[in-house]
């Protein structure tokens, strides 16, 4: 029985004797030799070999003959030993060179000896059925060997043996012993017709070889076709967006309307995106987990969706990214932070990091960084999220589909160059470390109560956990990961206002629901870090704005209304569809998450971690409106849990290596109707693909629906650079608003440079009547010298889409400003114009810039005591957590002593923080 190249074979349960050349320790390996069994002249042997080949083909398909074929070959070979020897001799006669055709002489014995040596140093390889050497059959009368003198023939070659990893024996067996084993191995080759003396082997084998290669290529299509389709789709997508506009290609910015970028995308871009999605699901539908290919496919889909803005833009999109670049520029030039310039400078960690990086790398132009940050951020999000997916009890399809959903529904647009985009990556890494190194899953040992709400809680607690716990982690690794956890939290606290609360909420929920091995010392430690940062480092922000910080606490409905209803009230019908599409994605993904949770519960699996990741961010709705964007932040932080649960709506099963595996449609209740598992698996993949395509199209609408005013042009950037060139000693820019308010931000690339010199806080009131310029003129007259009124394409588009201003309002408004005798246009291009007063009051001068170095932050009498209590509390709580890493029963006395010190110090530190809030608020 042959085994190909994989190892030794067995014959009826007994090890097959190996034969062949002796093992040569000086040789690099055994030289392969191909032996063709061309059959006897009467064709009997060929017919028998064909029968044996067909029997072998009915076997397991791994190159091993079926037991029936082995027995048949062994029995029949003994009856035809002489015919076999004749066939072998005939084969040797066919492959002889012209010099070998000389009649036998004294050198014939030497030739036979050389043949034996050659057989001893080589081993035969039987090629697969697709590789055959064919030719016209030979004349039987011409090639029949002489039966009268069989002893005159050279000794028969040793029997062919499969290539083995182990060295062959030193002495080959006799032909009579090896013949029963040799015949089944050469049955496949005997199907090939014998070659005639005048035939050309290359020309005869070429058609069959080509067809065999094509057949082999097509049979292996599931391996290479998804990768080829992915690369093809990616190239087609890039060309569709980057080439000049034309039929089925290119993007014309003038085609962007209320629906956003999707109105200008060519048909070829949608086709390319569809190809990439199909390639992904072809790979997912396979039975093997092709991790690298799936990760590459998700990365290409991420590039197509989140990189579309960068592919079609000439300047970095999203105006707010420019002010963040200005903060980086300011810290890099001055080495200081100035919370008096902007409240965001009270959390300068993100800006200080990039100021250090750009200065160390010698980067002076941040345009490429601003351009590609959205794409790079989403690629960075994938790494910790995939690590999170590895810690859940789910099938391969569920995990990778969750990763795809995470890319498709991430339309929130907070991945631009911003602290929230940066700290969201830290949040994902935080969750991944908690689950990977500090996860905890313990089976319930207490009996489930008989009735009441405790019965339902007990049943949930007794279900199969939806998380995986990694055992055997070294304490040194855990200590390193604990230190990394604290570093991630410190970086988030110093960079963003909301992310630390999300981290703190997650670890607290994990402790409540017993999904982490850490102790309660960590939440108290982290909570004190957040309070200390707000109290000591951002006092310049909250000293005079206590109501702004705490005024929104508990106002859930008000905060929700400011994030949903107020945003849908746009007057442009097409843009209203964009806002509704965003809510539609939210409703669908939450519905799928609820469905996935129920399907898992019906299979006896309770996914606590995923449910925590979904629900904890919602609690932030009770904090404050966060400038009308708290709903967007909640959606962003709830996505990991929502996507994981939504994938269970399609693939709820446990993995194949789980101890409790159920079929696709077998619920916990056996009385329910069960369908064909194979059919439902295919339907699940098709439904998942349908929703993926639906989400991809909705993503293009939801993410790039504001492209008409979020897109930044070179003309707008040039207008702002004119202001920076004329901002000595200071300058002020007025932007257009339909109503004055603190939460209205400019829709132009503002603050990229000289943030300490140029003031962008001025608002000029405008009306739907473009000829009415009284509001803008009045604001200019109230302002100091060197004040500019900026009219940009982005501002006009925002007024038209969200405030109901008529079409063509921007051109008519600029014409009215040009016609005014009191205004002077100092700069203009097709996308922007700057105006100022022709005459200012005599004697007025350009004011000096607002000083960013004040008299220092206010303090309180108990501040030094509070700082000492903070340091003592952090040291003792961290030491308690480190000791606890050695085990729950290690050093109980030492832990008690640490708690005796930490608790009073914690109370004092919190008391001083409260005292600072009260004292400073009353005295400022």
Counting residues of the chain whose pLDDT is more than 70, the rounded percentage is 70
How does residue 455 score in pLDDT terms, banded at 50, 70 and 90? confident
Read off the pLDDT of each residue in 482-499 and give the average, rounded to a whole number. Answer: 95
790 with 730, same domain?
yes
Give the Å distances, CA to CA, from 731 to 286, 746, 847: 63, 16, 8
209 with 230, same domain?
no
744 with 798, same domain?
yes
With a cut of 70, say whether residue 557 has pLDDT above it.
Answer: no
In SS3 terms, 45-57 reads as: HHHHHHHHHHHHH
Whole-number Å distance between alpha carbons of 316 and 413: 14
Read off the pLDDT of each residue in 574-578 and give the average, rounded to a whole number. Answer: 88
With a cut of 70, say whether residue 265 has pLDDT above it.
Answer: yes
377 with 253, same domain?
yes
Candidate from 204-213, 718-727, 858-867 with smallest mean pLDDT? 204-213
Domain membership of residue 798 as a residue range: 713-837
Looking at residue 175, what is its pLDDT?
41
Q: Who wins on pLDDT, 543 or 322?
A: 322
Maximum mean pLDDT: which of 66-75, 115-124, 486-495: 486-495
Whole-number Å distance between alpha carbons of 487 and 479: 12
- In terms of Cα–Cα distance, which of 754, 624, 52 is closest to 334? 754
Q: How far is CA 890 from the centre of its chain?
A: 40
Q: How far is CA 65 from the centre of its chain?
A: 45
Looking at residue 178, what is its pLDDT?
39
With a cut of 90, say whether residue 328 has pLDDT above it.
Answer: yes
Query: Is residue 407 in a domain?
Result: yes
558 with 620, same domain?
yes
Looking at residue 586, what is its pLDDT?
93
Read off the pLDDT of each residue in 644-658 and give the average, rounded to a whole number. Answer: 86
Candidate from 98-107, 297-306, 642-651, 904-913 with smallest mean pLDDT? 98-107
Query: Is residue 361 in a domain?
Result: no
Beta pairing, strands 832-837 & 10-11: unpaired
Query: Is residue 352 in a domain?
Result: no
With a cut of 90, say whether residue 246 has pLDDT above it.
Answer: no
193 with 230, same domain?
no
781 with 911, same domain?
no
Q: Who wins on pLDDT, 654 or 809?
A: 809
Q: To which residue do tokens 């009215």 refer?
A: 816
Domain end among 218, 236, 251: 218
Domain end among 177, 193, 218: 218
Looking at residue 641, what is its pLDDT?
95
Read off the pLDDT of each residue in 399-413 and give the average, rounded to a whole number. Answer: 95
Looking at residue 828, what is its pLDDT?
94
Query: Is residue 348 in a domain?
Result: no
Looking at residue 147, what is its pLDDT?
39
Task: Note the pLDDT tens digit of each residue in 800-829.
Answer: 998 889 999 999 999 999 999 999 999 999
How does residue 348 score in pLDDT terms, banded at 50, 70 and 90? very high
Number of domains comprising the chain: 4
Q: Could you tell me the sign of the dihedral formed by the alpha carbons of 357, 361, 363, 366, in that order?
A: negative
Candidate from 450-454, 510-514, 790-794 with smallest mean pLDDT? 450-454
Looking at residue 495, what is its pLDDT?
95
Looking at residue 625, what is its pLDDT?
60
697 with 718, same domain?
no
The one-character DSSP state at 392 is: B
303 with 439, same domain?
yes
Residue 707 near residue 309, CB atoms below 8 Å = yes
pTM given for the model: 0.76
- In terms of Cα–Cα distance, which of 618, 645, 646 is closest to 633? 618
Q: Dihedral (C-alpha) 627, 430, 554, 514: value to the nearest 10 degrees? A: 170
Two tokens, residue 446: 């207490």
The one-character DSSP state at 14 is: E
Read off the pLDDT of each residue in 736-761 and give the average, rounded to a whole number. Answer: 87
3-state SS, residue 853: coil
Read off the pLDDT of each residue in 405-425 and give the average, rounded to a whole number. Answer: 94
With a cut of 80, say whether residue 712 has pLDDT above it.
Answer: yes
Query: Is residue 5 in a domain?
Result: no
> What does pLDDT average to over the chain?
78
How does residue 622 score in pLDDT terms, banded at 50, 70 and 90? low
488 with 465, same domain?
yes
């Amino acid at each position: 029985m042959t085994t190909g190249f994989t190892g030794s074979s067995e014959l009826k349960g007994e090890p097959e004797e190996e034969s062949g050349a002796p093992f040569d320790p000086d040789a690099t390996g055994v030289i392969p030799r191909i032996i063709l069994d061309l059959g006897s002249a009467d064709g009997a042997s060929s017919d028998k070999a064909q029968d044996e080949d067909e029997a072998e083909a009915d076997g397991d398909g791994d190159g091993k003959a079926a037991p029936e074929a082995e027995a048949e070959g062994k029995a029949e070979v003994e009856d035809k030993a002489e015919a076999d020897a004749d066939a072998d001799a005939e084969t040797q006669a066919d492959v002889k060179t012209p010099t070998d055709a000389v009649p036998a002489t004294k050198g014939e014995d030497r030739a036979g000896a050389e043949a034996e040596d050659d057989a001893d140093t080589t081993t035969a390889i039987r090629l697969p059925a697709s590789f055959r050497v064919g030719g016209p059959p030979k004349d039987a009368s011409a090639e029949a060997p002489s039966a009268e003198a069989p002893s005159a023939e050279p000794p028969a070659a040793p029997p062919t043996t499969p290539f083995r990893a182990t060295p062959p024996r030193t002495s080959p067996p006799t032909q009579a012993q090896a013949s029963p084993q040799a015949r089944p191995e050469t049955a496949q080759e005997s199907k090939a017709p014998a070659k005639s003396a005048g035939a050309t082997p290359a020309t005869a084998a070429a058609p069959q070889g080509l067809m065999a290669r094509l057949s082999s290529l097509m049979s292996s299509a599931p391996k290479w076709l998804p990768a080829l389709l992915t690369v093809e789709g990616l190239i087609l997508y890039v060309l569709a967006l980057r080439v000049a506009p034309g039929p089925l290609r290119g993007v014309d910015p003038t085609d962007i309307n209320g629906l956003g970028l999707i109105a200008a995308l060519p048909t070829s871009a949608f086709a390319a995106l569809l190809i990439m999605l199909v390639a992904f699901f072809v790979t997912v539908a396979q039975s093997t987990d092709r991790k690298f290919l799936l990760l590459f496919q998700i990365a290409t889909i991420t590039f197509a969706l989140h990189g579309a803005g960068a592919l079609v833009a000439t300047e970095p999109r999203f105006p707010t990214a420019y002010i963040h670049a200005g903060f980086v520029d300011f810290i890099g030039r001055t080495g200081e932070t100035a919370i008096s310039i902007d409240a965001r400078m009270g959390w300068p960690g993100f800006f200080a990091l990039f100021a250090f990086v750009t200065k160390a790398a010698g980067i002076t132009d941040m345009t490429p960084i601003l351009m590609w940050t959205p794409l790079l951020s989403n690629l960075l999000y994938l790494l910790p999220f995939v690590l999170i997916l590895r810690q859940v009890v789910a099938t391969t399809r569920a995990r990778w589909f969750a990763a795809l959903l995470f890319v498709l529904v991430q339309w929130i647009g907070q991945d631009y160059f911003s602290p929230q985009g940066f700290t969201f990556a830290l949040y994902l890494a935080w969750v991944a470390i908690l689950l990977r190194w500090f996860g905890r899953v313990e089976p319930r040992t207490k009996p489930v109560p008989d009735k009441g709400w405790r019965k339902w809680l007990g049943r949930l607690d007794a279900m199969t956990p939806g998380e995986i716990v990694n055992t055997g982690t070294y304490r040194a690794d855990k200590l390193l990961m604990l230190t990394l956890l604290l570093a991630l939290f410190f970086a988030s606290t110093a960079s963003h206002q909301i992310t630390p609360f999300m981290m703190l909420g997650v670890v607290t929920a994990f402790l409540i629901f017993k999904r982490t091995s850490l102790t309660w010392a960590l939440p108290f430690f982290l909570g004190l870090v957040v309070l200390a940062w707000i109290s000591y480092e951002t006092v310049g922000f909250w000293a005079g704005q206590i109501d702004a910080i705490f005024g929104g606490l508990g106002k859930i409905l008000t905060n929700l209304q400011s994030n949903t209803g107020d945003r849908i009230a746009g007057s442009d019908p097409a843009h209203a569809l964009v806002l509704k599409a965003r809510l539609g994605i939210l409703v669908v993904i939450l519905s799928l998450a609820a469905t996935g949770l129920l399907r898992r519960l019906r299979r006896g699996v309770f996914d606590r971690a995923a449910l925590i990741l979904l629900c904890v961010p919602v609690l932030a709705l009770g904090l404050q409106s966060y400038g009308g964007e708290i709903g967007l932040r909640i959606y962003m932080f709830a996505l990991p849990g929502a996507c994981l649960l939504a994938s269970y709506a399609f693939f709820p099963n446990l993995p194949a290596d789980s101890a409790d595996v159920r079929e696709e449609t077998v619920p916990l209740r056996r009385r329910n109707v069960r369908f064909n598992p194979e059919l439902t698996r295919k339907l699940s993949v098709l439904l998942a693909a349908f929703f993926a395509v639906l989400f991809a199209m909705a993503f293009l609408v939801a993410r790039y629906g504001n492209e008409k005013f979020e897109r930044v042009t070179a003309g707008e950037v040039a207008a702002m650079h004119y202001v920076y060139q004329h901002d000595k000693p200071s300058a002020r820019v007025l932007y257009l608003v339909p109503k004055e308010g603190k939460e209205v931000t400019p829709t132009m690339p503002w603050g990229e440079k000289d943030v300490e010199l140029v003031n962008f806080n001025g608002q000029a009131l405008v009306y739907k009547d473009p000829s009415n310029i009284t509001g803008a003129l009045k604001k200019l007259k109230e302002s100091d010298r060197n004040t500019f009124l900026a009219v940009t394409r982005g501002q006009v588009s925002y007024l038209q889409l969200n405030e109901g201003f008529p079409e063509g309002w921007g051109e008519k408004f600029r014409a009215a400003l040009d016609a005014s005798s009191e205004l002077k246009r100092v700069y203009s291009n097709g996308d922007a114009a700057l105006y100022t007063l022709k005459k200012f009051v005599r004697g007025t001068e350009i004011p000096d810039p607002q000083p960013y170095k004040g008299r220092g932050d206010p303090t309180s009498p108990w501040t030094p005591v509070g700082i000492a209590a903070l340091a003592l509390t952090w040291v003792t709580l961290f030491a308690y957590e480190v000791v606890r890493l050695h085990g729950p029963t290690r050093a109980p006395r030492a832990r008690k002593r640490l708690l005796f010190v930490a608790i009073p110090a914690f109370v004092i530190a919190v008391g001083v923080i409260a005292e600072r809030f009260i004292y400073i608020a009353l005295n400022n």
